[in-house]
Copies of this chain bind each other. A is one copy, B any other.
Amino acid sequence: MKTIKGGVTSAKGFNVCGVSAGIKAKDKLDTALIVSDVSATAAIVTTTNAVKAAPVLWDDAVIGEDYNIKAVIINSGNANACTGAQGIDDVHAEVDAVSKAFSCDPHEVAVASTGVIGVPLPVGRIIDALPELIAGLSADDEAADQAAWAILTTDTVPKTAAVQVLIGGKTVTVGGMAKGSGMICPNMATMLSFVTTDCAITRDCLQTILSETVGDTYNMMSVDGDMSTNDTVLLLANGKAQNKEIVDKDSADYLTLKKAVYAVNEMLAKAIVRDGEGATKLIEVELTGAATKTEAKILAKGVVTSNLVKAAFFGEDANWGRVLSSLGSTGVAFDPQKVTLEFKSAGGSVTLYKKGQPFSFNEELAKKVLEQKEITVLVKMEEGNASAKSWGCDLTYDYVKINGEYRT
């Protein structure tokens, strides 16, 4: 597997465009279109929040009914959530307009929105921007960059990733773009991710790959622990690489593609955490020796979702007690006498707690480890052989500032 520079247009047959449709403040990029040369096999994972935005309900329905996806229309600045029946009507207006432009079935159009909730979507502006979006469709770096910017809210940088693998002698590319858990007042975090590949693969295989890799990547990161009304990860596969279609979940080809999709999702997830609101540090937890995979994930996630742990890393405090307590708080049973904790970074590595006993450590070395921007927390248990990774950011003054400000 080779990591390449690129994103959502790196795979063959995908073109994008990003424009300003006037949903956000004047001249800000706020609307993007992704189009596949041929309707693509699609897989999707959306929010588990009981309150789902209208675009999420639409995408879940059409992809659940096995429609292929020709185009995805995305806007930032308005989430089209909690808008009642009007929200559904507005989604219909979007998919009708896009499907007419591409002479496809409306069910072959996916929709995503992020931004303010409870405010009707200015859908007319999106429809009015369609000619400009279509005219600008391209696979070049500039178009990909503009699309990556157009889906952002309070994010400070666009997030893209791409890799290539060989499948049956053909080069298969997987690339994507994402927006992070920036909060738009008066709202909550929304995570959107659009991943494209030119691999040929059945819908069933594609959905399993997406579901499993989302569980190990986006679902293992924490900026503030809230799941929004609009969270969506969409994966499109258009077959343009001309590999022999992947149909078997036990095949080597399947595993190769899965690794590539995992890699793109992990890179995007880490980029989201790194750009978390007010974040100054990326905290990676590597937990080994848990009894089961499920427990490993719950434990690893427990560390990065603890406010006390997050604030301690902001303060560059070698606070192993909070890490141990956050593990204990998860409800997973384990023997604290068989836990070892270590922090490591570009500054070095330091053991803080070893098999139930505080481990005497050099405070100066600990400071050096913790003043880095990316820190790994190693948690070693002796309950079994399962492991998991998770990612979180620190809790900072700026997080409170960004999220405490009156809606503006």
Residues in chain A within 8 A of chain B (CB atoms): 48-52, 81-84, 117-119, 183, 185-189, 224-229, 306-308, 311-312, 314-322, 324-334, 336-337, 353, 356-358, 394-397, 399-401, 403-407
Contact = CB atoms under 8 A, between A and B. Distances in A.
A402 to B, nearest CB: 8
Nearest to A190: B325
B188 A325 contact: yes
A320 B399 contact: no
A319 B185 CA distance: 8
B405 A395 contact: no
Given A82-B321, A82-B324, A186-B317, 4 more contacts: A51-B325, A229-B325, A315-B403, A399-B400
A119 B358 contact: yes
Given A51-B336, A118-B353, A118-B358, A404 B329 contact: no
A257 B84 CA distance: 47
B228 A320 contact: no
10 contacts: A49-B328, A50-B327, A50-B328, A50-B331, A186-B321, A186-B322, A188-B321, A225-B307, A307-B399, A317-B406
B403 A224 contact: no
Q: Is the interface of A mostly helix, strand, loop or mixed?
A: loop
A183 B322 CA distance: 10
A80 to B, nearest CB: 12
A369 B31 CA distance: 36
B397 A400 contact: yes
Given A118-B358, A316-B406, A328-B229, A400 B321 contact: no
Contact of A405 (B317, B321, B327, B336): B317
Given A82-B336, A84-B357, A185-B319, A51 B405 contact: no
Contacts of A331: 48, 50
Given A225-B307, A395-B400, A400-B397, A321 B406 contact: no
Nearest to A406: B317
A401 B315 CA distance: 8
A358 B199 CA distance: 43
Contacts of A396: 400, 404
B317 A404 contact: yes
Nearest to A47: B328
Given A82-B356, A185-B319, A403-B315, A224 B307 contact: yes
Contacts of A51: 324-325, 327-328, 336
Contacts of A328: 49-52, 227, 229
A111 B353 CA distance: 25
Contacts of A326: 188, 226
